[in-house]
Amino acid sequence: MVVDDDPDIRRIISAILSRLGFSVSQAADGREAIKRLDAARPSLLCLDLMLPESSGFDVCEHVLKAPPLSGLPILMVSARDMPDSRAVAEELGVHSYLIKPFTQAEFIASVKALMPGAVS
């Protein structure tokens, strides 16, 4: 699942994930992401930090509290490169933090590190 309020970023990340063999769902805000997560557990969550409705942190808190989402790999993709943001993200279960703008190679490397058996 790709969650970002920027439709261009959603499109780019979704295209990369599709080329890697993933079926991709998308959400434009935190509230929509939580609804989609409750409906179906994805194999990976690519999540922006700064979202309308509910922040990426709110979505992470939801994942932590929902047993069916336990262990869900979370890749935070954010323009916010602040040590405190990274620390909070780690406390909330984020497995990897990628700063925008990023290259396709950086994104693929992050996904492969999170899901080594799922990406060739």
- Tens of pLDDT, residue by residue over 53-95, are 999 999 999 999 999 999 999 999 999 888 899 999 999 999 9
Nearest-angstrom CA–CA distance, 79 and 98? 8
> Quick check: 63 and 37 in contact, CB under 8 A?
yes
What are the structural domains, with CATH classification, of the chain?
Answer: 2-110 (3.40.50.2300)
At 83 the pLDDT is: 87
101-118 pLDDT tens trace: 999 999 999 999 999 888
Residue (of 18, 85, 16, 91) closest to 48 by Cα position? 85
The residue-averaged pLDDT of 41-51 equals: 97
**What is the structure's pLDDT at 38?**
97
Residue with tokens 């323009």: 79
Q: Which pLDDT does position 116 carry in this prediction?
A: 87
SS3 per residue for the chain:
CEECCCHHHHHHHHHHHHHCCCCCCEECCHHHHHHHHHHCCCCCEEECCCCCCCCHHHHHHHHHHCHHHCCCCEEEEECCCCHHHHHHHHHCCCCEEEECCCCHHHHHHHHHHHCCCCCC
Is a pLDDT exceeding 70 seen at residue 45? yes
Q: How far apart are CA 2 and CA 84, in angstroms?
A: 23
Mean pLDDT computed over 5-26: 97
pLDDT-based confidence at residue 120 (cuts at 50, 70, 90):
low
Neighbour tally for 103: CB within 10 Å: 9
